[in-house]
């Protein structure tokens, strides 16, 4: 279906930051826009706010004043819903209250023509439920923009149970014409992003609760090893714990208490204490004026005579790490593997990529005396930090050898408590698992699931493409080991991921 024509009127209800931002997006795309808010003067304030933001770009030389004037001229504040009657598309961006939204859309349906497309920017309410009392629920859908709407690329186009496929396709094409990255999703709790992203926060919170490492260390590892823009703790502080916790509770409740979405007692305590993050001045970090910055707990420099590094087996994912060792001038000996596993050896010390088992269990299963597990990195050739965990047989000398090795490769080393899956691996495996379940349940396609996480949250890779590169058998094995370690349904592997792993298929 083609996008809406630029002479079609776009109406936005709600002139707060999100509503005004959506109105700006539509006006910048060339549409006449009508902005309504039931609070006196709010729509005019919204337009004024857009002008103010655009003129900041003029001051920085990023935009011409004439362009700003043209965009603002397309935006008309209105005083009542009746003035939206001839709109081709209405985007509602008001309070997250089901009954209020139902009332607004019932009135819109009585005012607007039969070809008007009705959409909600809701981030948590069911489109099916919002549209349930409409005479023509087939023209109702979701257009979920991300804040700030003029900057963030993603738009989730949400189809309710009755939404006409042509309506969804028209909205998709329109969002694309507006310079956005649209994805299709069905109306299920959390849609794509707010559902698939839950493990990013949940695994960090669990690692913290279990004493694996401090927030600053875990954040640094997700950034420097995992390639994420922000770690989970600094991101939760930015979002606000009241908001992040509420979304988690909403998804958890909507899925009837599924333990995959179980809220954290750690975050609940922060909310109860009013430590909401940046907006309150205190969360996981202290944002007061004279507060000292928390720093990651990286190992101090270690000088040690390194024996030859023996690289055993088909290295696969960790091949860039061995290449990095060669580039650093280390003596590297390559040899085949009797067991078929890829491992590294420094004298009597064995080093291996985690597979979801803790080092203690891994060493016991494999009959190894001294084992150090290292974490997953987005790119072993470019990473600047890495997490390590040791089995009980690793003495101080071997610990220093492992530290010295990775430091010689230019990596900050974080020794964490011996925990299943370490930090990056368990986070990526759980993100991929949730994305796979979303695909299995018809929430989205694999392509749209990955696009949503990259465009909506700036993930360095789509979780499913990342899982494909790691090989689904390895990701499935990691999840199986996590579930065995904890004995919890939370870590159960998605059936779709399991089936594809067994069939040696991929998502992309």
Contacts of 305 (CB under 8 A, 6+ apart): none
H and E: helices and strands count for the chain: 20, 15
Look up 434 and say whether it is catalytic. Answer: no
Q: Alpha helix (H) ranges present in 357-416?
A: 359-366, 396-408
Look up 144 and say whether it is catalytic. Answer: yes
Report in angstroms the alpha-carbon separations of 288 from 73, 226, 234, 240.
42, 29, 15, 16
Look up residue 65 and give its two tokens: 């004043």
Catalytic one of 194, 264, 354, 391: 194
Catalytic one of 92, 109, 156, 234: 156
Length of the chain (residues): 508
| Contact of 140 with 131, CB cutoff 8 Å | yes
310 DSSP β-pair partners: 333, 345
3-state secondary structure of 120: strand
- Write the DSSP assignment of 179-223 as a string of letters: T-EEEEEES-TTTTHHHHTHHHHHHHHHHHHTTS--HHHHHHHHH
> In 406-437, which positions are buried (b, 16+ CB within 10 angstroms) versus exposed (e)?
bbbbebbbbbbebbbbbbbbbbbbbbbbbbbb
Nearest to 19 by CA among 46, 56, 57: 46
Catalytic one of 121, 123, 244, 264: 123
- The alpha carbon of 113 is separated from its chain's Cα centroid by a whole number of angstroms, namely 38
Look up 156 and say whether it is catalytic. Answer: yes
Neighbour-count burial of 377, counting CB atoms closer than 10 A to its CB (0-12 exposed, 13-18 middle, 19+ buried):
buried
Look up 38 and say whether it is catalytic. Answer: no
Neighbours of 102 (CB within 10 A): 17
CA angle 251, 256, 257 (to 5 degrees): 75
Nearest to 108 by CA among 13, 5, 33: 13
Catalytic one of 120, 126, 144, 234: 144
The catalytic residue positions are: 123, 144, 156, 194
């Amino acid at each position: 279906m083609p996008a809406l024509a630029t002479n079609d009127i776009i109406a936005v209800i709600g002139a707060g930051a999100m509503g005004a931002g959506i109105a700006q997006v539509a006006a910048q795309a060339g549409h006449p826009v009508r902005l309504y808010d039931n609070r006196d003067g709010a729509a005019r304030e919204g337009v004024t706010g857009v002008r103010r933001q655009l003129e900041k770009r003029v001051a920085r030389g990023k935009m011409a004043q004439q362009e700003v004037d043209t965009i603002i001229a397309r935006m008309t504040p209105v005083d009542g819903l009746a003035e939206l009657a001839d709109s081709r598309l209405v985007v509602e961006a008001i309070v997250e209250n089901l009954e209020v939204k139902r009332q607004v859309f019932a009135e819109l349906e009585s005012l607007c023509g039969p070809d008007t497309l009705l959409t909600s920017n809701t981030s948590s309410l069911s489109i099916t439920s919002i549209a349930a009392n409409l005479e023509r629920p087939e023209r109702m859908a979701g257009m979920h923009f991300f804040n700030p709407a003029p900057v963030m690329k993603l738009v989730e186009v949400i189809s309710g149970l009755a939404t006409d496929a042509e309506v969804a396709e028209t909205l998709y094409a329109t969002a694309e014409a507006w310079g956005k990255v649209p994805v299709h999703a069905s109306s299920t709790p959390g849609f794509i992003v707010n559902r698939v992203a839950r493990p990013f926060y949940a695994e960090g919170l669990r690692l913290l609760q279990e004493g694996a490492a401090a927030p600053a260390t875990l954040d640094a590892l997700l950034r420097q090893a995992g390639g994420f823009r922000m770690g989970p703790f600094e991101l939760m502080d930015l979002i606000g714990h009241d908001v992040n916790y509420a979304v988690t509770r909403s998804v958890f409740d909507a899925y009837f208490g599924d333990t995959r979405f179980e809220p954290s007692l750690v975050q609940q305590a922060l909310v109860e204490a009013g430590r909401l993050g940046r907006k309150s001045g205190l969360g996981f970090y202290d944002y007061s004026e004279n507060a000292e910055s928390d720093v990651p707990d990286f190992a101090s420099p270690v000088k040690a005579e390194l024996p030859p590094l023996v690289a055993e087996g088909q290295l696969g994912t960790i091949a860039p790490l061995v290449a990095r060792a060669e580039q650093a001038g280390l003596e590297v000996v390559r040899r085949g593997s009797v067991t078929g596993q890829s491992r590294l050896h420094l004298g009597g010390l064995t080093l291996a990529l985690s597979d979801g088992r803790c080092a203690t269990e891994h060493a016991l299963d494999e009959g190894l005396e001294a084992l150090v597990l290292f974490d997953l990195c987005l790119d072993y050739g470019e990473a600047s930090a890495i997490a390590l965990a040791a089995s009980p047989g690793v003495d101080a000398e071997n610990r220093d050898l492992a530290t010295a090795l990775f430091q010689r490769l230019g990596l900050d080393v974080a020794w964490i408590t011996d925990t299943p899956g370490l930090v990056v691996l368990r986070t990526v495996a759980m993100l991929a698992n949730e994305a796979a379940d979303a695909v299995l349940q018809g929430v989205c396609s694999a392509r749209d699931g990955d696009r949503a996480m990259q465009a909506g949250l700036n993930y360095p890779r789509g979780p499913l493409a990342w899982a494909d590169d790691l090989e689904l058998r390895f990701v499935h094995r990691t999840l199986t080991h996590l579930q065995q370690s904890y004995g919890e349904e939370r870590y159960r592997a998605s059936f779709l991921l399991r089936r594809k792993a067994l069939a040696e298929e991929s998502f992309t």
